[in-house]
Amino acid sequence: MRSSTNRKRTVRTLAAVALAAGALTVAAGPAVATAGTPATTSAVAGCVTTDIHVDPAAREAGWTVDCSSRRYVYVDVTVFAGGVADSNPSESKWVDAGDTWQDLNVYPQTTPPIDHICVHLVSYVDPTNPFEQPETIGHSCV
């Protein structure tokens, strides 16, 4: 009986420590921005998505990305037909500082027809670094 109580107490203590450590990790995330600079301006230092065009009826998905520093931009598109994910095309490219990547894709018709398209854009400084967290620069689902 006493062993069971001690085990429960130990598990609860470990769970509390794990939660506290997780909260500290999450709380430290936005503080990475430089002092006096809002965390939301971090995208300005890399790339911003100025337009996402999604038209399921026309089977189109497009985007415009402007970069102020050289970044690797990855775009993940999910095409839904009949409420089910039908295809998952993706594109990526290096965008140099001061350049714009504008793209428009038309996807083949499906049966049942395309009824929903999602576009998710992220950027990297170094896509070969497994520890770099991608920066979300745009998302749209229609």
Going from N- to C-terminal start, the domains of the chain cover 2-32, 39-141
A 10 A CB-CB count for 72 gives: 19
Residue 35: predicted pLDDT: 36
CA distances from 114 to 13, 15, 63, 86, 140 (A): 51, 45, 19, 8, 16
The C-alpha angle 80, 118, 87, rounded to 5 degrees, equals 40
* 16 vs 116, higher pLDDT: 116
**Which homologous superfamily does the CATH classification assign to the domain defined by 39-141?**
Immunoglobulins (2.60.40.10)
* 11 vs 106, higher pLDDT: 106
Average pLDDT, the chain: 80
Type of residue numbered 116: H
Which residue matches tokens 């039908």? 86
pTM of the model: 0.68
82: left (phi over 0), alpha (psi -120 to 50) or beta: left
Residue 29: predicted pLDDT: 37
Residue 12: predicted pLDDT: 56
pLDDT tens, 74-102?
Answer: 999 999 999 999 999 999 999 999 999 99
